[in-house]
Amino acid sequence: MGSAETALDLTLSNRQASDFELLANGGFAPLTGFQGSADHESVCRDMRLASRRRSSGVVEPADQSGELWPIPITLATDLECKVGDVVELTAHNGKKLGRLTVEEIYEKDVELEAEQVYRTTDSEHPGVAAIREEGARCLAGPIEADALPDHEEAFMRRYTTPEETKKAFADRGWKRIVAFQTRNPIHRAHEYLTKAALEICDGLFIHPLIGETKKGDIPADVRMRCYEVLMDNYYHPEHVMLGVNPGKMHYAGPREAVLHACIRRNYGCTHFIVGRDHAGVGDYYGTYDAQRIFDDIDLSELGITPLFFEHTFWCNECEGMGSAKTCPHPAESHLFLSGTKVREMLEAGEKPPHEFSRDEVAQILIDAYRTEGVQ
């Protein structure tokens, strides 16, 4: 049913458009639409989709039929409609994206989501603030996509759908592919762990997130320039590929580490790098919580193998990168710079030490702070 047959039209926020895009391109498989109340509660409480009825009408236990899924994907809106309506979905710039067939209208438990998914009810947490701002009233149902949201040319040059990414891996002959999620420029520590992971894989898929992030994060287009200069100079061209993940940040720590793994599985990756504070923010999550959550997950069901890395640093005694597993030297031998300190240096036009960041990356960031108003 097209827009000529319905007067219902909903303009999606940038965050909602990110969800629509991953539903449409297969990045959120097995999801095919925005989730209803049963899925919302089941995902929040059990990290699984709600159980489905067999043809006999018998409800299967959730642990037998509910697939693993870590974060609710819902569509909050105050649009007046009824079950059975078709709602045309539009991007913020006016681009027609597709439609949603309304199967349910419900009030989701926002506080349950905050407590279970984000592990806090503190509105200072950006993910909690976002779901409270969006509201509790939700529409649920399958989507039909006619188009995907627009992105800047810098991103579109690297944009591939999961299907296209899988084909690119196959064309390169890669069978073991490790994905690296990032929302920040790649510094020497990231370079070290991606190359360590690449030693046991055929290819590295650098897959930065380009959806909405919190205030203070480096803009995605600036990060893209950083990734590209690193690829041009410090990675073997036959064993690295750069894509873009149109998803948004939830800052949900452990739960989001699982979500990012699911997305990269859908893009065709076999391995996924999980750092010590993956998708974390502030001090809401414990050190390595994002790794420990995988202890309770059947990796054969997850469909991708997580690779866990310690905090890495430059050691003056080792004269190279190391971690608590590999370096025997005391902390005073290690080069560690806080994010605040790095930002202060960049704002002042000072390059961080070569041991912390490649000079080319540092220069891109300095220029962005000077000319593009990055803060």
- In the CATH hierarchy, which top-level class contains the domain 153-371? alpha beta
Q: State the SS3 of 75-132.
A: EECCCCCCCCCEEEEECCCCCEEEEEECCEEEECCHHHHHHHHHCCCCCCCHHHHHHH
d(CA 287, CA 281): 11
pLDDT (0 to 100) of residue 375: 56
Q: Are 83 and 102 in contact (CB under 8 A)?
A: yes
Task: Using alpha carbons only, give the angle 253, 92, 153 rounded to the nearest 5 degrees.
Answer: 80
pLDDT (0 to 100) of residue 218: 82
pTM: 0.92
pLDDT (0 to 100) of residue 374: 63
pLDDT (0 to 100) of residue 2: 43
Q: Are 19 and 213 in contact (CB under 8 A)?
A: no
Note if 184 is an active site residue.
yes
pLDDT (0 to 100) of residue 341: 83
Residue range(s) of every CATH 3.40.50.620 domain in the chain: 153-371
Note if 183 is an active site residue.
yes
Q: Are 356 and 342 in contact (CB under 8 A)?
A: yes
d(CA 40, CA 73): 8
Q: Which of 183, 223, 264, 276 is catalytic?
A: 183
Q: Which of 137, 172, 176, 184 is catalytic?
A: 184
Residue 240: CB atoms within 10 A of its CB come to 19
- In the CATH hierarchy, which top-level class contains the domain 3-145? alpha beta
Residue range(s) of every CATH 3.10.400.10 domain in the chain: 3-145
Cβ neighbours of residue 14 under 8 Å, at least 6 residues apart? 92, 211, 212, 248
- pLDDT tens, position by position, for the chain (375 residues)? 444 445 699 999 999 999 999 999 999 999 999 999 999 999 999 999 997 644 445 544 444 458 999 999 999 999 999 999 999 999 999 999 999 999 999 999 999 999 999 999 999 999 999 999 999 999 999 999 999 999 999 899 999 999 999 999 999 999 999 999 988 889 999 999 999 999 999 999 999 999 988 777 788 889 899 999 999 999 999 999 999 999 999 999 999 999 999 999 999 999 999 988 999 999 999 989 999 999 999 999 999 999 999 989 999 999 999 999 999 999 999 998 777 788 889 888 999 999 999 999 999 999 998 886 665
pLDDT (0 to 100) of residue 52: 62
